Amino acid sequence: MRSVDIIRDKRDGAELSPEQIASLIRGYVDGSIPDYQMAAWAMAVFFRGMTARETAALTLEMARSGDMVDLSGVNGVKVDKHSTGGVGDTTTLVLAPLVAAAGVPVAKMSGRGLGHTGGTIDKLESIPGFQVERSQSEFAEQVNRIGAAVISQSGNITPADKMLYGLRDVTATVESVPLIASSIMSKKIAAGADAIVLDVKTGGGAFMKTLDDSVRLAEAMVAIGTEIGRETIAVISDMNQPLGNAVGNALEVREAIALLRGEPGVSRDLVEVCLALGAHMLVLGRRAATVEEGRRALQALLDNGEALRRFEQLVAAQGGDAEVVRSPDRLPAAAAVIPVASPSQGYVSGIRAEDVGVAAMLLGAGRATKEARIDLSVGIRLRKRIGDRVEAGEPLAELHAGAHASGDELAAISRKVADAYTLQAEPAAAPPLIRAVVTRAGVQRL
């Protein structure tokens, strides 16, 4: 099979066979197909798209390009969850103990943050002693014993995706629905999921800015899941502001603990998205007959403290200081807390999540490059959300800064956070949080 013929077929709009796709991906990974041919193919896909059959074949081929995690030693239906690029997205820290408490096993492999989005592994490492490396057998044993484990992704998951994503990044071919959908789904398949709940963000801070684009991406991922026999559902949620109030590693752990403890000061949006995603996880995991029943079960586990106890067990099982559950002050704290004053008065109508994420990164909470070191204590806490009234000079947010930040740096970051807020004179309503649910049966717009 000659690569040039495969590229030409795609360029001319033909459907590629699974064998053609396999030949391309295997050749790319083993080095026999050069970047320039892969780039030409990616551009052809960008313009021509891919059928559901092609997209599923690409997903499976990329999933098989590296290690495939074997979760057969874990009892029950393994339901994985994935969010597309959130800011202040602390859902995994809440959902792992919460759905485990409801009887759905959580065998989760997570990544570190890059750029303006955080990573669950960094967040967990802000808990003193927490170990993110576990062997496959320890991982399965822990899930069977306490219902949940969250570990760092192994080194050799989906190398084909890593190579192709890097190439797309520099050839203007990232924004292709079948390429994004197969990239995300290949990692979930390789991680051993039986079923998948996707949280597809939409709006200003998201990868997909419009609801229609987000629905198209969700439909493509659900179609892949259906095609390869892993039931997949997608919840489309709004990202016209950061999901939680905390953006930064230890700060997000604090917000997750506060949520599990039922304390005030927690973003209601974060609670709502956790309940929505968790309810679908319970349905796919056969622990609830309907989404409504799942939601009620989860609310009860929050109210009776079971989810918090499960979080404590998870932390203890991975070597962490479980006392943080009662004394969150044991988490690393920033050297300084600096209010970001509002330059004017009005009602908050939007908060550009990506800019808040970048501001947190500049404080040291995130990595500008893969090798950068991060400060787990720093970040941003929002004090105002969409719909809130603000007076001039009142704090919109607070910066949690390290000792090394200079006055000039802090002033620039503070301006960036203030600029991320849009205020208007008239009262503003928060946009609906859950915009649509996509299943194999179709799209339900809410």
What is the rounded CA–CA span in Å between residue 421 and residue 414? Answer: 11
| x/- map, 216-255, ligand URA, by CB under 6 A | ----------------------------------------
Q: What's the closest the beta carbon of residue 404 comes to Ca ion, in angstroms? A: 26
Q: Please choose, out of 113-121, 177-185, 216-224, 251-259, the segment that lies near ligand URA by the rule CB under 6 A.
A: 177-185
Nearest-CB residue for ligand URA: 183
144, with CB counted inside 10 A (0-12, 13-18, 19+), is middle
180 binds, among ligand URA, Ca ion, none (CB under 5 to 8 A by kind): ligand URA
Alpha helices in 320-406 (DSSP H): 353-363
**Exactly one of 62, 94, 102, 180 binds ligand URA (CB under 6 A); which one?**
180
What is the rounded CA–CA span in Å between residue 310 and residue 420? Answer: 36
Q: Please choose, out of 13-21, 173-181, 285-293, 423-431, the segment that lies near ligand URA by the rule CB under 6 A.
A: 173-181
Which residue in the list 48, 78, 82, 230 is annotated as catalytic? 82
What is the rounded CA–CA span in Å between residue 253 and residue 377? Answer: 10
Touching ligand URA, residues 136-165 (CB under 6 A): 165
Q: Are 25 and 156 in contact (CB under 8 A)?
A: no
Q: Please choose, out of 69-77, 178-186, 273-281, 342-350, the segment that lies near ligand URA by the rule CB under 6 A.
A: 178-186
**Exactly one of 54, 61, 80, 89 binds Ca ion (CB under 5 A); which one?**
89
Q: Are 362 and 420 in contact (CB under 8 A)?
A: no
What is the rounded CA–CA span in Å between residue 259 and residue 141? Answer: 28
Active site residue 381: no
Which residue in the list 168, 188, 367, 435 is annotated as catalytic? 168
Other C-beta atoms within 10 Å of 96: how many?
26
Structure tokens at 139: 């991982």
**Which neighbouring-strand residues pair with 434?**
237
Nearer to Ca ion, 201 or 310 (CB): 201
List the Cα angle 364/396/125 in 5-degree steps: 30
Structure tokens at 131: 């170990």
Nearest CA to 140 among 64, 70, 66, 187? 70
Nearer to Ca ion, 59 or 117 (CB): 117
Active site residue 183: yes
Touching ligand URA, residues 181-220 (CB under 6 A): 183-184
Q: Please choose, out of 45-53, 77-85, 385-393, 413-421, the segment that lies near Ca ion by the rule CB under 5 A.
A: 77-85
Q: Are 438 and 233 in contact (CB under 8 A)?
A: yes
Beta-carbon-side half-sphere exposure of residue 432 (alpha carbons within 13 Å): 8
Nearer to ligand URA, 158 or 267 (CB): 158
| x/- map, 248-287, ligand URA, by CB under 6 A | ----------------------------------------
Active site residue 12: no
Q: Please choose, out of 1-9, 78-86, 161-169, 303-311, the segment that lies near Ca ion by the rule CB under 5 A.
A: 78-86
**Which neighbouring-strand residues pair with 94?**
none
Q: What is the helix (H) or strand (E) element at residue 283, kind and residue range?
A: helix 268-284
Enumerate binding residues for Ca ion (CB under 5 A). Answer: 83, 89
Enumerate binding residues for ligand URA (CB under 6 A). Answer: 165, 174, 179-180, 183-184
Catalytic positions, please? 82, 161, 168, 183, 187
